[in-house]
Structure 1
Amino acid sequence: MSEQLFKSGFSNLDHEQNAVPLKTQGRIPYWLNGTLFRNGPAKFSANENLGWHTHWFDGLAMLHKFSFCEGNVIYSNRYLRSNAYYSTLEKGQFNTGFGSKGGTRIKYANNTNINVAILDDRFMALSETPGIIEFNPVNLETVDVFNFDDSLGGQLTTAHPHYDLQTGRYINFTTEFGRKHAYNLYSVAPHSRKRDLIASVRTDRPAYMHSFANTENYVIITEFPLVIDPRDLANEQKTLIENFTWKPDHGTLFRVVRKSDGIILKTFEAEAFFSFHHVNAFEINGGLVLDICALEDAKTINHLQVSNLKGKTGEPIFVQLRRYTVKFDSRNVSYEVISPASIDLPRINYGRYSGKSYRYAYGISTNKDHYENYPNQLAKADLQRGTTTIWRQDGCYPGEPIFVQRPNSSDEDDGVVLSVVLDGRNSHSFLLVLDAQTFEELGRADVTHHIPFGFHGIFTGEQYM
């Protein structure tokens, strides 16, 4: 599509709203009661006249909230008041952050614009730096930096923690640079802010990793060959990701840790590939299965500069949904492609099937016959049948699809899928509600303005009006 109607998804959203009722079309299920929280960048330039220079991952964080009550939807949005936010608005300086060229390195920027999580019964905005920001779920106001009650070290982390379905524990890891580099894998008990170390996994080649895998008994850290010499971090002329180098000869390592005692079982090896997102993982007799949204290399990171995304359509980037099989009696890991569609920002029925054998995955997708620089359809992959169901509307660009289970249901896909969609033709966004089983539209709630393309979020059954 030559018009590239998705461009407004990378433009600033300057106004904030509180508790605005949305006009709905179709039917929003009456059983759908709760709150959808979304996180993502919403300001890409301090001054529109200066041009666009920011990496997508570095736009200033904005929280969005959709509250559901008996078929009605109420919307709120608010910028996160971080050091990065105040520096940009008061001084016109953007943080170099993840990959923004020409910016300024802001100390403790805490531009946590990637995900939302609940920790110690509090709502948190997350990114890949250790500074977590707490916010109020009712009015979305920024509370403060959340401090853990321990001294665990680390300069990087992931924005995709897991929740152990058996214990309710929050699981994540930090990457610590030092004389001996390590991934510090930890868990946090419910109603606590103390990180309990599970294992310290030594590495001589710290890698960039956006997510990891979790099963009932194991955590798997997938170490891609996008690696860093931590001494390079002293160079203030480089962005964070520019310090990482693609080393395909290193291959990809799967480091498997047993949660019960922190024993590192073994390191398994596969050919070089890159990924932002694990989908799910589960245990099989004598091994593990990991489903991953995979890319051949890490070139896509630079493609995500806003100037590239808003430029002319470039070389197509398709993300393969791969199933990697780890066998404990072998060091080598093999894979198969399990969906014909390009799928990323994946979600599953997490509350019931995280770390377990499952059937369905949902994600954003790029239509191979109508390629654009931003994904233009939603996909539901049936991993048993090897089939994929698509929702697509011309000129519309969906965000991460979040599955919400219907109360008292037993089928894995009995519920709805929620996605914030940009209507590029009419320059506004809407919240799409799909029947998760048929993948057909049930209804939508129209927002009066555009919502810039975000990343991740959560749905909670509590209503925060």
Structure 2
Amino acid sequence: MSATQESASEKPWPYAAGYDNCPEVLEPIPLKVKGTIPLWLEGVLYRSGPGTYDLDTESGKQVHIQHWFDGLAQLHRYEIKKGGEVSYRSRNTSNDLRKRYQKAEAVTGVTFCQRDPCKTIFNKFFTTFKTATLGGPPLGGTDTNVAVIPSPNFPGLMDREHRNVEQKSDKDGKSDRTVLRNLVMNTDGNVMQEIDPVTLEPIRLFTYGDIDDSLKASNLAPAHPCIDPETGEHFTVLLTFGPTAVYKVVRTRASSKGTHNEPDLDVIAEIHSPRPTYMHSFGMTKRYVVVTHWQCDFAAWGVSVLWYGNAWESFKAQDRNVKASFYVVDRVRGRHVATFECDPYYAFHTINAYDDGDDIYVDLATYKDHTVIGDYYIDNLRNEASGKPPQQAVLRRYKLSKISEHAALSALTRKTPPKPAPAEVVFQLDESINFELPSINPSRYLKSYQYVYGVNRSGLNKTLIYDRIIKVDLHKVAQGDQTTSTKFWIQNQCTPSEPVFVPTPNGTKEDDGVLLSIVLDGRRRTGFLLILDAQTLEEIARADMPEGKVAPHNFHGMFVSN
């Protein structure tokens, strides 16, 4: 499907538009549809990520946000209506933070990767001392950047009047938890942002400490929570910095007094480690939470974040002598029952995990180390002439064996953590077939599965990031077939985002469904919503953005069916 490559001298560079400021579209606009959208495909695709990198101030000075991960949050809403019509709207969701940067004429506060070589040693010491002793500023308005991933139905949030929907039940009386009762944005911190799911207006910021006072001191949480689709329980792992890092595995669920009451929150396990680590995601099965403790460690017990003002400069270099760990927590008994170790690696995304008898399988998109984070500085990604392609991830499966045996041993020695056992690498996709931003059929979450979708960098286009959508047959990879285990979609000078799988109603096969991806069309410097057949990766339809409306390179998405 790749068109003839255009001249390298063509200007402007077609991929740079994904890192331009993206204007809001506050009222829905119609998109022009090409092809035929399936009659059953009706609902809303939410996409989240950065939308602003460059700010003008009253004095005429420009403030430049240096890193992709620090771009100011923007949320996008693509609504697919009955009859195949598509509309689009978007909204910036951190405007108070934007105003703070503009007033200060600088990026202020703690960020992920913003570097400030002009800060003096005295200023660093004063800021670190003040924050460590007095704490950070109180949350309010939209003064925090919460841009990573939307998630539905956080327990305990009140339904808004104009979208109050009674929870549906099927013929067996089981509740349908796909009904959208509220929408929450997550990021790599102990903070969430409630969003109006129709207008995209920010409603409020809140933390786990607002639900339980004992969690106010927790510093970080993975941006990706784990949500059990059958029980509606939300799980996260809260990290508290200190000489001994404390990881609290937290379960939040609807109150037994009713959904309009404060949620029930339980810390089901605490894990102590000498390594405070940045974790973007973790794993879960029907029976266990799997804390994926890879190597991306903060120096000086985490205080280094305050010293540098950003996470990136505070990370230690990788140590090949320090193992990565998997901590297995029993969801029912609420106990750390097993620990497994393997050679060091780094990851952003846990793809899926599931139980198989007494074993656990965990699939991840793994990197050799965390230096990949430094590859995503905007000046590098905008650089046509000499920009460096980011380090690429490899799809890998780990096996954690004989959990009940480890649990029995740990029960006898409750005062000491479980003795580590080796984690086995079952297989990995060939390193030449890189893989990131995973998506699966949601009906296979926490279960054994065959297909996973993501994005891939082919090297055929000049883009520094992804230019293909990839489908992987994990059964074939497990059998050693690296040749026919993958399929791709590619179009010249186009940059796809994470594909979101939407299953066909009453589908009989795991890959019955469609993929939704927001694609930057560099040739026209605009974007489109792409709809692919999930079995063949052939295009079914697309909905074109108007000329001049650019789809920025964003992070993650979620589809809510009507």
TM-score range, shorter chain: over 0.9
Out of 506, 512, 530, the residue aligned to residue 414 of structure 1 is 512
> Could you give the per-residue CA deviations for residues 42-63 of structure 1, whole angstroms, max 9, x where no partner exists?
1012139748541100000000
Amino acid at match of 2:46: F
Q: Is the 8 A contact 1:45 1:94 kept in 2?
A: no
Classify the secondary structure of the residue corresponding to 1:248: coil
Q: Is the 8 A contact 2:242 2:302 kept in 1?
A: no
Map of 2:30 onto structure 1? 21
Map of 1:433 onto structure 2? 531
Q: Is the 8 A contact 2:150 2:184 kept in 1?
A: yes
Which structure 2 residues correspond to residues 337-348 of structure 1 after superposition, within 5 A? Answer: 337-338=428-429, 341-348=433-440
Map of 2:453 onto structure 1? 362
Query: Matched residues in 2 for 1:133 and 1:157: separation?
Result: 14
Classify the secondary structure of the residue corresponding to 1:422: strand
> Could you give the per-residue CA deviations for residues 326-374 of structure 1, whole angstroms, max 9, x where no partner exists?
1236811122213662110101112x11111001101011004546311
Out of 93, 115, 125, the residue aligned to residue 185 of structure 2 is 125
How far apart are 1:377 and its partner, in Å?
Answer: 0.7
**Given the alignment of the two structures, is residue 326 of structure 1 paired with residue 400 of structure 2, yes or no?**
yes
**Gap change, CA 1:384 and 1:461, over 3 Å in 2:** same
Query: Matched residues in 2 for 1:142 and 1:315: separation?
Result: 35
TM-score, normalised to structure 2's length? 0.78
Map of 1:276 onto structure 2? 348
Which 10-residue stretch deviates more, 185-194 or 211-220? 185-194
Amino acid at match of 1:139: T
**Given the alignment of the two structures, is residue 111 of structure 1 paired with residue 145 of structure 2, yes or no?**
yes
Amino acid at match of 1:23: K
Which 10-residue stretch deviates more, 401-410 or 222-231? 222-231
How far apart are 1:78 and its partner, in Å?
Answer: 0.4
Classify the secondary structure of the residue corresponding to 1:5: coil
Greater helix content = 2
> Could you give the per-residue CA deviations for residues 137-159 of structure 1, whole angstroms, max 9, x where no partner exists?
11111111135422242100011
> Could you give the per-residue CA deviations for residues 95-137 of structure 1, whole angstroms, max 9, x where no partner exists?
4511012399994542001010121332111111112111111
Query: Matched residues in 1 for 2:278 and 2:390: separation?
Result: 23
**Backbone CA RMSD of aligned residues:** 2.2
**Given the alignment of the two structures, is residue 442 of structure 1 paired with residue 540 of structure 2, yes or no?**
yes
Q: Is the 8 A contact 1:60 1:111 kept in 2?
A: yes
Classify the secondary structure of the residue corresponding to 1:276: strand
Q: Is the 8 A contact 1:323 1:338 kept in 2?
A: no
**Given the alignment of the two structures, is residue 202 of structure 1 paired with residue 214 of structure 2, yes or no?**
no
Classify the secondary structure of the residue corresponding to 1:250: coil
Q: Is the 8 A contact 1:313 1:372 kept in 2?
A: no
Map of 2:113 onto structure 1? 99
Query: Matched residues in 1 for 2:281 and 2:390: separation?
Result: 24
Q: Is the 8 A contact 1:53 1:307 kept in 2?
A: no
Map of 1:452 onto structure 2? 552
Query: Matched residues in 2 for 1:287 and 1:461: separation?
Result: 34
Query: Matched residues in 1 for 2:147 and 2:111: separation?
Result: 11
Amino acid at match of 1:113: A
Which 10-residue stretch deviates more, 55-64 or 316-325? 316-325
Q: Is the 8 A contact 1:84 1:94 kept in 2?
A: no
How far apart are 1:317 and its partner, in Å?
Answer: 2.5
Amino acid at match of 1:314: K
**Gap change, CA 1:233 and 1:317, over 3 Å in 2:** closer
Q: Is the 8 A contact 2:245 2:301 kept in 1?
A: no
**Gap change, CA 1:348 and 1:231, over 3 Å in 2:** closer
Q: Is the 8 A contact 2:294 2:345 kept in 1?
A: yes
Q: Is the 8 A contact 1:46 1:94 kept in 2?
A: no
Query: Matched residues in 2 for 1:344 and 1:234: separation?
Result: 27
How far apart are 1:232 and its partner, in Å?
Answer: 2.8
Amino acid at match of 1:207: T
Query: Matched residues in 1 for 2:196 and 2:389: separation?
Result: 42
Query: Matched residues in 2 for 1:277 and 1:289: separation?
Result: 15
Q: Is the 8 A contact 2:503 2:513 kept in 1?
A: yes
How far apart are 1:178 and its partner, in Å?
Answer: 3.7
**Structure 2: runs of 5+ lacking an equivalent:** 120-126, 128-135, 156-180, 406-419, 478-484
Out of 280, 289, 300, the residue aligned to residue 219 of structure 1 is 289
Query: Matched residues in 1 for 2:188 and 2:390: separation?
Result: 27
Query: Matched residues in 2 for 1:51 and 1:141: separation?
Result: 25
Query: Matched residues in 1 for 2:40 and 2:104: separation?
Result: 47
> Could you give the per-residue CA deviations for residues 13-53 of structure 1, whole angstroms, max 9, x where no partner exists?
13333111111111111211111111100101213974854
> Could you give the per-residue CA deviations for residues 184-205 of structure 1, whole angstroms, max 9, x where no partner exists?
1111113353422111111111
How far apart are 1:385 and its partner, in Å?
Answer: 2.1
How far apart are 1:427 and its partner, in Å?
Answer: 0.3
Amino acid at match of 2:115: K
Map of 2:441 onto structure 1? 349
**Gap change, CA 1:51 and 1:84, over 3 Å in 2:** closer
Map of 1:395 onto structure 2? 493
Which structure 2 residues correspond to residues 224-373 of structure 1 after superposition, within 5 A? Answer: 224-228=294-298, 229-233=300-304, 235-245=306-316, 246-311=318-383, 312-314=386-388, 317-328=391-402, 331-335=421-425, 336-338=427-429, 341-350=433-442, 352-370=443-461, 372-373=463-464
Which 10-residue stretch deviates more, 67-76 or 314-323? 314-323
Classify the secondary structure of the residue corresponding to 2:519: strand
Classify the secondary structure of the residue corresponding to 1:322: strand
**Structure 1: runs of 5+ lacking an equivalent:** none
Classify the secondary structure of the residue corresponding to 1:394: coil
TM-score, normalised to structure 1's length? 0.93
Q: Is the 8 A contact 1:42 1:61 kept in 2?
A: yes
Out of 93, 104, 107, the residue aligned to residue 80 of structure 1 is 93
Query: Matched residues in 2 for 1:235 and 1:39: separation?
Result: 27
Q: Is the 8 A contact 1:431 1:445 kept in 2?
A: yes
Aligned-residue identity in percent: 30
How far apart are 1:165 and its partner, in Å?
Answer: 3.1
Q: Is the 8 A contact 2:67 2:376 kept in 1?
A: yes
Q: Is the 8 A contact 1:226 1:247 kept in 2?
A: no
Which 10-residue stretch deviates more, 368-377 or 238-247? 368-377
How far apart are 1:221 and its partner, in Å?
Answer: 0.8
Classify the secondary structure of the residue corresponding to 1:88: helix
How far apart are 1:11 and its partner, in Å?
Answer: 0.9
**Gap change, CA 1:267 and 1:21, over 3 Å in 2:** same
Q: Is the 8 A contact 1:83 1:111 kept in 2?
A: no
Q: Is the 8 A contact 2:345 2:366 kept in 1?
A: yes
Kindly tell me the number of residue pairs found equivalent between the two proteins: 461
Amino acid at match of 1:232: V
**Gap change, CA 1:225 and 1:286, over 3 Å in 2:** same
Q: Is the 8 A contact 2:63 2:105 kept in 1?
A: no
**Gap change, CA 1:288 and 1:368, over 3 Å in 2:** farther
